[in-house]
Structure 1
Amino acid sequence: MQRLLLWAIRRYRTTGGGQRWFGIDCNFEPTCSAYTYTAISRFGARKGVSMGWQRIRRCSQRDSFCKCIEPVPEAEHVKSTTG
């Protein structure tokens, strides 16, 4: 599952990403797709997708003038989403 998700994100990014598919520029740095890719690589499919989805949900403006710098946390700094 992890390999499939990473392939899908790579494909999304090489075909234009959010700019092409949704007509928007990501408000975060790294972009949401790059963040999710790294999170999946670092924490596995379940946790990585959860982290990526939470990041996307925090995006409240269509396009922002200043980017929010928010790297993927290191393993020991991640809170559990299971409770």
Structure 2
Amino acid sequence: MKKRTIYELTKEGLIILIHLYRYSFSILFGPCCRFNPSCSSYALLSVHRFGIMEGAWLIFKRLIKCHPFHPGGYDPVPDIIKKS
């Protein structure tokens, strides 16, 4: 049996939380995301592509845009994260 690191377990835990959100709250509220891809899809792809820390940062930046005054639209996960 392969030993998994804390990092891998935390990443899997975050992915499970995203799936729980997707299959609980999303069912209650329906498809109402103003962005494409949806925020839960964006979150999963961010974590898979960049890991926990960078993925969480991208998720945070996406969620603070989620308000009635932002037009939404196409907002894909970046291929690389620009370091400033």
% of aligned pairs identical?
28
Alignment: residue pair count: 75
Q: What is the Cα deviation at residue 14 of structure 1? A: 1.7
Q: Distance in 1 between matches of 2:48 and 2:42?
A: 10
Runs of 4+ in 1 over 6 A off after TM superposition: none
Cα deviation for residue 58 of structure 1 reads 1.2
State the match for 1:29 in structure 2: 36
Query: Does the alignment pair 1:40 with 2:43?
Result: no
Aligned partner of 1:56 among 52, 63, 74: 63
Structure 1 counterpart SS, 2:19: helix
Q: Which stretches in structure 2 are left out of the alignment for 5+ residues?
A: 1-9
Equivalence map 1:62-73=2 (5 Å): 68-73=73-78
- The Cα RMSD (Å) is 2.6
TM-score, normalization by structure 1: 0.74
Unmatched 5+ residue regions in structure 1?
Answer: none
1:14 matched to 2:23? The reply is yes
